[in-house]
Amino acid sequence: MNYPDLAGKKALVTGAAGGIGTAIVAALKAQQVQVTGLDRIAAVGADHALVGDLMDKDFCDQAAGQAAQLMGGLDILINNAGIITRGDITQASDEDFARSMAINVEAPFRLCRAAIPIMAQAGSGAIVNTASCWGLHPGPKHPVYVMSKAAVASMTQCLGMDHAHQGIRVNAVCPNEVNTPMLRTGFSMRGLDADKAVDALNATVPLGRIAEPGDIADVVVFLASDAARYMTGSLLEVNGGKPVG
């Protein structure tokens, strides 16, 4: 799909070196978007890199402004970075909770807070947050993750209403399982064969497979484009028809 309105736009993508992030960067670049990739390591394919830790409040507060300086503006913010904490609440440590909330919730909050004035001054902008189907339909054994993604979903809806009058659209993509290194590492950490585990997940999806990163990236690009011009505060589930469970 080609979105001519995106050509020449300037985007900041967090978690840009991860599985979904790399796909988002590539998909935006295919639309001739100038991209600054933010992650703990330099993102492949991005025009510019911001390297740092999203648990660093100052880094988060300054990232949008730094990206705007690097690119000469900021039209699009993709809050894609996130982590998963597994296990029931009795297994969750204070560190698990603090880290999940810092990366999954506080970082997008700080980035949105900094980016919105920049976009408002320009007269328009698009923000796409990565929430989760699990944040909309809580599943078992992931309370910390579910809480964090529910917060992202609620923030998206609120900001979508609050800043529509400034020409800023705020939406979220809500994936279920995605075939990323993070997913596979999670299986390996539990002593499972990652390939077999993914095959088992594929069998649970009505469309026959879990998502690939590109499936999510394509929806992110759509939400950032004028093709989604009448969408704001939307939580778009991209799950192959599989319910949370």
Looking at the annotation, which residues are catalytic? 145
- Please name the residues in contact with 60: beta carbons below 8 A apart, sequence gap of 6 or more: 54, 106, 107, 110, 111, 114
Measure the CA–CA gap between 18 and 121, rounded to whole angstroms. Answer: 31
The answer for residues whose C-beta is within 8 angstroms of residue 12's C-beta and 6 or more apart is: 35, 36, 38, 50, 63, 64, 67, 74, 76, 77, 78, 111, 115
Rounded Cα distance between 198 and 223, Å, is 28
What type of residue is 70? L
Residue 134 CA from chain centroid, whole number: 14
d(CA 119, CA 169): 10
Give the Cα separation of 47 and 6 in Å (integer).
16
